[in-house]
């Protein structure tokens, strides 16, 4: 059963992050995903200090708020004339550092250790079960991630055309009356939510991998946004499954192995993708040369 729950958890993380990651990659905001995943740390710590428990709902709220604050601060610094990469770097390291202080200062009385926040503990998800009326409903993380995935799918499904146009041509989107800023913050809110939901299982650092790597791999494999979304989810799921067994085999970190597998899949796509891969490009160039010779 342990295998099943761990793989399911990993796959849910991969699916949620895979969908959102596509939009981040296309909007050239991959690093904003990175920033959010780090700067939600103080939100989690504060929620933890207030409630004294790992009450997930409060943590989700705290993290989502911090996520939006992060995006807002980055935007403000940029509007103030700072380069975008510098703005991102300043905001997320500062917030992350505050989170580290909050957690380490209170480490004595709170059961939230930094390693777990950074790297997650997917191996333990099955022990933390959700119990309703005395019934064991299965791992709490699975419910949390399943719920998050559902929210993400509903929001993206309902507003697919808006998210797509905002990513491709925000000027036209604004001109036809789509509230571009609203959808920007909605996307960022969803990213924050999924980051926190994913967090206990894969940790703050590796969740970035799940956001960016499968989406970038999918980007190399197709010329359609809808297909890219599906591929991104499938690649994420394959990474979770492959990563899990690789970890077992190597006796290594599960989350780490999952992202490593995602990285390997990316390299494969980068080299062999029939559309944009190195090999395909090499062949195209050679056949062009042959034709002109």
Partner 1 sequence: MTTYPLEVNRLTVAYQKKPVLNSVSFQIPSGKLIGVLGPNGAGKSTLLKAVLGLIPKVEGDVSIFGRPYREQRKSVGYVPQRESVDWDFPTNALDVVMMGRYGHLGWFRRPGAKERDIAMECLGKVGMADYAGRQISQLSGGQQQRVFLARALAQSANLYFMDEPFAGVDATTEKAIIQLLHELKDQGKTVMVVHHDLSTVQEYFDHILLLNGELVAAGPTKDIFTPNHLQKTYGGRIAMLQDFAAVPAGQV
Closest CA to 6 of 121, 114, 148, 113: 121
Closest CA to 20 of 263, 265, 256, 214: 214
- Please, which contacts does 136-144 make with residues 24 or more away whose CB atoms are closer than 8 Å? 138/5, 139/5, 139/9, 140/56, 141/9, 141/200, 141/201, 142/5, 142/8, 142/9, 142/12, 144/56, 144/60, 144/197
264 part of the interface to partner 1, by CB under 8 A: no
Which of 87/257 has CB closer to partner 1?
A: 87
Looking up tokens 């949620």 gives 16
End-to-end CA distance of the chain: 62
Three-state SS for 130? strand
Min separation Cβ 81 and partner 1, Å? 7
Which of 79/133 has CB closer to partner 1?
A: 79
Q: Which stretch binds partner 1 (CB under 8 A): 93-101, 159-167, 199-207, 255-263?
A: 159-167
158 part of the interface to partner 1, by CB under 8 A: yes
Name residues whose C-beta falls within 8 Å of residue 160's C-beta, 6 or more positions apart in sequence. none
178 part of the interface to partner 1, by CB under 8 A: yes
Q: Which two tokens stand for residue 278?
A: 């190195």
Q: Which stretch binds partner 1 (CB under 8 A): 112-120, 173-181, 260-268, 277-285?
A: 173-181
Using CB under 8 A as the binding rule, the residues of this chain from 61 to 120 that contact partner 1 are 81
Tell which one of 4, 72, 168, 282 touches partner 1 (CB under 8 A). Answer: 168
175 part of the interface to partner 1, by CB under 8 A: yes
Which of 50/154 has CB closer to partner 1?
A: 154
Backbone angles phi, psi at 154, to 5 degrees: -65, -50
225 part of the interface to partner 1, by CB under 8 A: yes
266 part of the interface to partner 1, by CB under 8 A: no
269 part of the interface to partner 1, by CB under 8 A: no
CA–CA dist 252, 257 (Å, integer): 7
Q: Which two tokens stand for residue 27?
A: 């909007």
Q: Which stretch binds partner 1 (CB under 8 A): 1-9, 194-202, 215-223, 245-253?
A: 215-223
169 part of the interface to partner 1, by CB under 8 A: yes
Which residues bind to partner 1, rule: CB under 8 A? Answer: 26, 28, 81, 158-162, 164-165, 167-169, 171-178, 219, 222-225, 227-228
């Amino acid at each position: 059963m342990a295998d099943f729950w761990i793989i399911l958890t990993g796959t849910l993380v991969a699916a949620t992050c895979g969908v959102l990651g596509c939009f981040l990659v296309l909007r050239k905001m991959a690093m904003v995903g990175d920033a959010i995943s780090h700067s939600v740390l103080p939100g989690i710590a504060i929620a933890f200090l207030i409630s004294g428990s790992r009450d997930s709902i409060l943590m989700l709220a705290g993290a989502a708020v911090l996520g939006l604050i992060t995006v807002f601060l980055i935007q403000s610094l940029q509007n103030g004339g700072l380069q975008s990469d510098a703005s991102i770097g300043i905001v997320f390291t500062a917030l992350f550092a505050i989170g580290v202080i909050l957690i380490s200062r209170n480490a004595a009385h709170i059961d939230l250790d930094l390693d777990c926040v950074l790297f997650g503990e997917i191996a333990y998800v099955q022990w933390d079960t959700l119990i309703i009326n005395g019934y064991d409903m299965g791992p709490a993380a699975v419910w949390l991630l399943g719920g998050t995935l559902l929210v993400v799918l509903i929001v993206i499904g309902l507003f697919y055309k808006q998210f797509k146009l905002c990513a491709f041509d925000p000027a036209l989107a604004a001109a036809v009356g789509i509230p571009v800023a609203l959808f920007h913050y909605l996307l960022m809110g969803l990213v924050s939510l999924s980051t926190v939901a994913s967090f206990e299982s894969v940790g703050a650092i590796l969740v970035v991998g799940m956001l960016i790597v499968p989406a970038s791999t999918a980007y190399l494999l197709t010329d359609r946004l809808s297909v890219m979304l599906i591929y991104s989810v499938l690649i994420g799921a394959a990474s979770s499954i492959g990563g899990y067994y690789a970890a077992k085999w190597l006796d290594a970190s599960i989350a780490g192995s999952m992202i490593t597998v995602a990285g390997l899949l990316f390299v494969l796509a980068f080299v062999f993708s029939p559309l944009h891969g190195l090999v395909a490009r090499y062949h195209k160039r050679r056949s062009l040369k042959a034709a002109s010779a």
